[in-house]
Amino acid sequence: MQKPSDSRDRLTVLKRFGADPGALHADTYIPKNFPKHGPLVVVLHGSTQSAESYDRGSGWSALADECGIALLFPEQRQTNNPIGSFNWFKFGDSRRGRGEPLSIRHMINQVVDDHVIDPSRVFITGLSSGGAMASVMLATYPEVFAGGAIIAGLPYRSANTLMQAIFRMKGYGGPSDRKLDALVRGASKFNGPWPTISVWHGGRDSTVDKSNADSIVRQWQKIHKVEGPPTRVEMVDGYPRQVWCNADGREVIEEYIIGGMAHGTPIRADGAGGLGAEGKYMLEVGISSTRHIANFWGLT
């Protein structure tokens, strides 16, 4: 178990990473056992959180020590957003080659170069506004990522204004399935292979309605050619995991709806394999999304 104090001073500021049109901050964590050509996980915090507080709660740096994973933590500045949210719904921060997505892309380039990371093993995850920005990155730079995990987030370009964002968060309206698919395909000139997608959401989330989780799944189903019901449903740590496999039998989409959980990241801090620490939006529900996401990506 990672104690609340364990992640303090663990992160290192990434001082230079090329152009920064989104005016973001960045931290890294490179464990001592990180191998050459090892993997990188980009971790995006939620509103009112910092890179450090999200790492402390989720346990990503503890897992990095365990498995030899490099971590990059983009961080929002209050000058960009008063509650520290990534601006996933703004025109200038949801397109390739612009704003916050381009800043994060340049951060990734820098860390990959600095630490001899395998460019085919780059992944991204985020909570809430960070989850929505993970959707943005997966759509606008799909060639960069082998996989993504969206926790309590929203589909790519489900909103284009703050008012729309508020409505979508509450589960009202949103693009059709055909439009959701077209938005991802139109976000870049990429034709695949596409990143795998892991979706996590609380069944009682009143901040971002859980209907958004199903919309994220549907946004990627046609792209992965796995339309329709899941290939299988299994129980993991007491919660249902839906899995969609492609024609080759590879798992390309998974979805966890954590019944009874509110808005936040699911953690299991105690016991064997425990990670992180309970806190605001870091919810002890007996399942570690951090560990299971890393498992899905083949990092453990």
pLDDT tens digits for the chain (300 residues)? Answer: 444 434 457 899 999 999 999 999 999 999 999 999 999 999 999 999 999 999 999 999 999 999 999 999 999 999 999 999 999 999 999 999 999 999 999 999 999 999 999 999 999 999 999 999 999 999 999 999 999 999 999 999 999 999 999 999 999 999 999 999 999 999 999 998 999 999 999 999 999 999 999 999 999 999 999 999 999 999 999 999 999 999 999 999 999 999 999 999 999 999 888 999 999 999 999 999 999 999 999 999
* Owning domain of residue 210: 12-296
User: Is 128 part of the annotated catalytic residue set?
Assistant: yes
Give the pLDDT of residue 273: 86
Question: How many structural domains comprise the chain?
Answer: 1
Give the pLDDT of residue 8: 54
On whether residue 6 sits in a domain, the answer given is no
Give the pLDDT of residue 13: 97
Give the pLDDT of residue 3: 44
Q: Which residue has the tokens 């860390």?
A: 111
Strand partners, 253: 197, 244
On whether residue 146 sits in a domain, the answer given is yes
**CA nearest 137: which of 285, 261, 22, 218?**
22
On whether residue 2 sits in a domain, the answer given is no
- Residue tagged active-site, from 47, 61, 128, 215: 128
| pLDDT one-digit tens code per residue, 208-227 | 999 999 999 999 999 999 99
On whether residue 23 sits in a domain, the answer given is yes
* pTM listed for this prediction: 0.95
Q: Which residues contact 259 (CB under 8 A, 6 or more apart)?
A: 203, 204, 239
Question: Reading across the β-sheet that carries 147-151, which strands appear in turn?
Answer: 12-13, 25-29, 70-75, 40-44, 122-127, 147-151, 196-202, 251-258, 239-245, 232-236
On whether residue 3 sits in a domain, the answer given is no
On whether residue 87 sits in a domain, the answer given is yes
On whether residue 84 sits in a domain, the answer given is yes
The CATH number of residue 265's host domain is: 3.40.50.1820
Q: Which residues contact 12 (CB under 8 A, 6 or more apart)?
A: 27, 28, 29, 30
Give the pLDDT of residue 9: 75
**CA nearest 185: which of 153, 223, 154, 159?**
223
Query: Is the distance from CB of 149 to CB of 296 less than 8 angstroms?
Result: yes
Query: Is the distance from CB of 54 to CB of 152 less than 8 angstroms?
Result: no
Give the pLDDT of residue 271: 87
- What are the percentages of helix, strand and coil residues in the chain, rounded to 5? 30, 20, 50
On whether residue 110 sits in a domain, the answer given is yes
